[in-house]
Every structure is written in C-alpha cells, then in structure tokens.
Amino acid sequence: MSTQNPVTLQIPILPDREKDLDRLLTSFGNPAGSQSTFPFEKFENVHFARWFLVPATVIKGEKVQPSVMYTANIDGSATDHLNAMADQIPEVLDRILNHCVGYPDKGSRTPQSRISFLDTHRISTQAFYIGAPKRTVQQIHQEAALQSAVRTFFDGEEGAAVHSPRAALDAVRKWLASDNKWDWATKPFRLPGIKWARAILLGIVVLVVLIPVAILIVLIHFLYENKLQPLGLDINQLDPERLQKLKDQEDIIYQNQLTQVFEMKPGLRKIFLRFILWFTNELANTVEVKGNLLGTPTIHFARWVIIDQGRRFIFVSNFDGSYDEYLGDFIDNGGWGLNAIYSNSKGYPRTKFIFWKGSYLIGQFLAWGRFYQVPTQTWYSAYPDFGLPQIISRSKLRVGLFSRKNLDSSEIADVLRRI
C-alpha cells in the first residue's frame, strides 16, 4: 500500500524568456495524447502532473518576477521522483530549465547538479487533498481491468447461466481463482476510513482555538473587509480572448484541470489563511477520505501552496466534468468553505464575517475565478478516462469479490451492482 504525495517546484524565469518557455511548454501537450512530448508516462507512479507559468506582478510597488511551476501527484516520495526525472529525462529537463535563473550551464550539467537544482526549488504544500487515498497508479489500472474482466465473464455463457445473486458471486469467484493473473487482487486492501483518533484530536484543537478564531473573524470583518474592493465583474466583462484561451484547454477528456494564482490580502488575513489551510489539510487527511470533499465527489487531487515569500498562493486541481459543474457543486455544497480560503485573496466577492456572501454571489464569484485562472501549458493524467466515483467503486468491487467473510444478501447485491 502506497502513500500519495505532492511534488511542488517553483523556479524563477530568466528575463525575457517567459514567452519562449510558454511556447515550449504549450507544445508538450495535454492528456488527449499523441502530440505530447513531455514523457510523463516514463514515471509509472505519477497520477497527475502539470507545468505552468506564474506571471509577473507588482505587489506594494515591488515587482514579483515570473516563474515556472511543476506540480505532480505521485506514489512514494518526492525525492525519489525528482531523482528519477533527473536520471531518466535529463534532455527534456534541460530544454525547460535552460530558461530559468541559476540552472547549471551546459558544461556543468550532471545528474547530481540537476537533482540539486530541482531540490533547491522544492517548496512545501500547505494543503493537499486526495480523492482516492491509498490507491497507486498501478492499482487503479488493475482494478479497472478486473472490473472489465468480470463484465466479460457475465456476458459469456458461463456467467449467463447463473440465476441467483449468491450463485453469481460464487461463480465469478471460482473463475477468478482459476487464473493466477488475479493473484494481486487477493492481497488485503482496506478501504480508507475516517481516522477517528486524529479526527477527535482535530476537534479538540478546533474547540481550543474557537474563541480566538471568532475574534479574528470579527476583527477581519470590521478592519479589512469593507476597505478592500472586490473585483466586481461578471463573466461577460472579462477579456473574451483570454477566456477563450482558457476554455480551449478544457473538456479535452473526461477530466479537467484548474490552475489559479492569487495575491494574498495583508495583515490578519495572512494569519487566517495559514490557519484555514492547515485545517483544510488536516480535514482532508482525517475525515474527507472517501472521495467526497464538502459534498463534491469529482475531485481527484487538489492542493493549495503559498508562493513568492508569502505574497501569493496557488490552487491546482484535477476533477471530472466541466469547470462550471465543478464550481457549481462547490457553491451548492460548501460555499462557506470556498469563502474561508479564497476570501483571503484580493478581488474576491465581499463576504460577511468570512463565511457568508462571497461565493454565494455566483456571478461575481465565477468571474473572479476565471480572472485569476492561468493557463496550464502542460498537463498529464495517468488514467484520462476514469472518473473518481468509478475508481472508488472498482476498489469496493475488488474488496467484495475477494472478501473472506460470508457476505449477506445486501452485501452481495452491492458487489454485483458495481460490476
């Protein structure tokens, strides 16, 4: 059983090289396939990955230089992944990182100098959500193959001959046991569940900080919220050319990606953001472990990362379905959660004591989201045709098929329904 981890790199770009790097990364393609030249597939432990540019900006009169970011959701350790990249695709890394500040010149590039450079630009991830915890890339593909094989069995003569749910389960179990290609599926796999001890501890911490946080929210509302202007646009007021460029990268496959870059609000807002990201990370790793983040069952991975020495933060996610459906589900099921995080960014629709209004001003919210979205020049999915509910259901099918306990009629019905 493997643990999924985030890898996040942020690397400053050399002056006047941003456009060249944009063109290069755009040429690497997307999960639709054939034109992609960045060899993500060499790394069998990568679920999703992307390269994108963080544009330059000016904050309090100081210019923040543009940078390139690499984010990946992997099985195993970030260190092993970066070592593998430096070892297996040095020429591709050179093509990208040659545009970056401080990259070793051609004569001094070695596996170790590349690894050192990547490691230098590794940054921490403040909050990380996994839609299907504990599943490796290999397991996700294996469980899809298992479901497909079982469907084929029931379409055949032997499977069609059974006439009761229990007989059907016994027949398919016998058929699977006759072929050692399914031996991997007999290994115990415990479906992720709430980590109750950690969840109780989290609850205690929340109770302890409840009054200080409530005071912080009141102070933020009266000292900050009414002084900062929201973006105040609706979707029809955005630059149509830029909006179309973003949409051109969407709905290519069943899954979609989202990359956003925000400037943090000052003062107490920065304190609150760090607290809420810590809480989000804890919640994601203790309670929200069954593929349903705040009632939204379509998010494969998501992360929030503070960048540029605490002046900006990014959000990146991979999800099923369309952009509008994705945000619509979030607003319907957890708009207060959106407010808790994103009201700490400039331009966000005005909230009332953080948790009210904000995302519920739907027109302003959708325009705000698009305004701060940036293109994802290169992105990858290891299983572009799989929805998150499918992945979770296939794991439950595998557990049911190979369970050693005597299933009752409702449990048998649940197993057969997942076929």
Phi-psi bin for 313: left (phi > 0), alpha (psi -120 to 50), beta? beta
The answer to whether the CB of 256 falls within 8 A of the CB of 339 is no
Question: Where in the chain are all domains bearing CATH 3.30.70.100?
Answer: 196-381
In the chain, the percentage of residues whose pLDDT exceeds 90 is 84
- Residue-level pLDDT at 32: 57
pTM (two decimals): 0.94
pLDDT digits (tens, 9 = 90+) for 231-264: 999 999 999 999 999 998 898 889 999 999 999 9
CATH top class, domain 196-381: alpha beta
- Residue-level pLDDT at 38: 82
Query: How far is Cα 305 from Cα 261, in angstroms, rounded to an integer?
Result: 10
330 pLDDT tier (thresholds 50, 70, 90): confident
- Residue-level pLDDT at 37: 64
375 pLDDT tier (thresholds 50, 70, 90): very high
- Residue-level pLDDT at 2: 63
Helix, strand, or coil (residue 277): helix
Angle at 369 between CA 290 and CA 50, to 5 degrees: 65
33 pLDDT tier (thresholds 50, 70, 90): low
- Provide the CA 30 distance to its chain's centre, in angstroms: 16
pLDDT digits (tens, 9 = 90+) for 111-143: 999 999 999 999 999 999 999 999 999 999 999
